[in-house]
Structure 1
């Protein structure tokens, strides 16, 4: 139970004295001090008072050691982004910060991804990952970078480094967004999501590569979701032909095909291959200029 340490931490983060908080909650300062020092145990009505005051669920106040959370997570909780209050399951993100208490961006290379599936919530494991910073990303959000495996998201090349923003509330995911999704069965995957969580409690995951079929993942199998921000690669993706250029190319091919068909027509082909462009007609001799009837048109056709 972390209630005593949590309410003390939250009070200090608000820069409030015990007298100020006790006054807001309608209790004596000594009573609040007893709760913070674990001398007194709160009843349900008191727990609800603290929950309303800090806008944090009772379950979170009791079961989660808030001192282990990063600054961004604490800010999200203080802003009312507690998934217990939204009816979800609490997700505690193991994270690292630099000497200035700023969130690091941890790197998860391919060789570390097998261990990440089991160690994603272990602060000790996360602390062993390499870290870096990108100055153009928001300092108010949490990011992590994963190395891409396979060709399911072409034209993004295999081996690219995909950076994602941590998603605390999965219900707000928008269909069509690209996300890094951690599941217990498949590990780390990078997919386009269709969010069916509010209605059906699942995500449908799509690949950019059309050779891969979409599939469903139940919410209970998911451990983390990171919304795509950008990727880094040493390869240049294959060019995508614009639609108007593709139409012009197809039209040109059709014209070439029509000319080829015309060239292969029997009459035209013979005319082009015969000397002086004269095509003999059955019953005439080349160069006579007349057929059996003496009609010039029955003997040859001048091109």
Structure 2
């Protein structure tokens, strides 16, 4: 077990003393020393509190060498063999995931038979160096794009390639299929912050390890023209800078 080594590394990374950590856990400082030296093991309830403080799963805390290998969410994963559909000339189709199929996509995205049964189409002027998928969005969280808009995304192989402030379709165990503006804090705490362009919705975070697929938004198709009146104001570079600043402040406060 790597608990002692990981605990010491994470604690020092947050510039916490053993006394600081013991105060947060409600235990004696000597117990922190015992945990880090391997002379004692914390109770499950204490382990869970440690995981919450350092934003780390119990599996990663106990069995993953964080100092040597880095956080799990930022590691390069094996390149996934993406399930795609081809036309008669062996060109990749763009697979369409309607709203009704979104729930099933989480379980069927790697199943060739499931993907083949979904609608397929082509679009001109898209780079042939990427694989694309189309998702029909639901709700008004990303106005001025209305509910029912089809967002075409290019496949992103590694989470570390996510660029803060850009919009992505994320497929995750916790949230299903969502389209959001994403801020990448994997290096800091192993999480992604998801922000809606409609400021009526609060930002939230998800662990990087929960994400199954990421698609960078490249185009959209809509039967409704976006209406600027559907939101209080358009997203500007200043808005994005403010979002980043606010999220950084939230991270600092959570430490």
TM-score normalised to structure 1 length = 0.50
Aligned partner of 2:103 in structure 1 is 114
Q: How far did residue 95 of structure 1 move? A: 1.0
Pairing partner for 1:189 from 170, 178, 185: 178
Q: Distance in 2 between matches of 1:89 and 1:175?
A: 23
Higher relative contact order (CA 8 A, sep 6+): 2
Aligned partner of 1:168 in structure 2 is 157
RMSD of aligned alpha carbons: 1.8
> CA separation of 1:242/1:146 partners in 2, compared to 1, >3 Å: closer, same or farther?
closer
Q: Which runs of 5+ in 2 are unaligned?
A: 1-74, 235-255
Q: How far did residue 125 of structure 1 move? A: 0.6
Aligned partner of 2:23 in structure 1 is none
> CA separation of 1:242/1:148 partners in 2, compared to 1, >3 Å: closer, same or farther?
closer
| Counterpart secondary structure, 1:115 | helix
Structure 1 runs, 4 residues or longer, greater than 4 Å off: 240-243
CA distances 1:250-289 after superposition (whole Å, capped 9, x unpaired): xxxxxxxxxxxxxxxxxxxxxxxxxxxxxxxxxxxxxxxx
| Counterpart secondary structure, 2:193 | strand
> CA separation of 1:184/1:232 partners in 2, compared to 1, >3 Å: closer, same or farther?
same
8 Å CA contact 2:137–2:151 kept in 1: the answer is yes
> CA separation of 1:169/1:136 partners in 2, compared to 1, >3 Å: closer, same or farther?
same
8 Å CA contact 1:108–1:147 kept in 2: the answer is yes
Equivalenced residue count is 158
| Counterpart secondary structure, 2:178 | strand
Q: Distance in 2 between matches of 1:106 and 1:164?
A: 10
Q: How far did residue 90 of structure 1 move? A: 4.2
Q: Distance in 2 between matches of 1:217 and 1:92?
A: 24
Q: Distance in 1 between matches of 2:82 and 2:212?
A: 10
Aligned partner of 1:301 in structure 2 is none
8 Å CA contact 1:102–1:139 kept in 2: the answer is no
Higher Cα Rg, which structure: 1
CA distances 1:31-88 after superposition (whole Å, capped 9, x unpaired): xxxxxxxxxxxxxxxxxxxxxxxxxxxxxxxxxxxxxxxxxxxxxxxxxxxxxxx632
8 Å CA contact 2:159–2:208 kept in 1: the answer is no
| Counterpart secondary structure, 1:124 | helix
Matched, 1:131 2:120: yes
TM-score normalised to structure 2 length = 0.59
| Counterpart secondary structure, 1:88 | coil
Q: How far did residue 212 of structure 1 move? A: 0.6
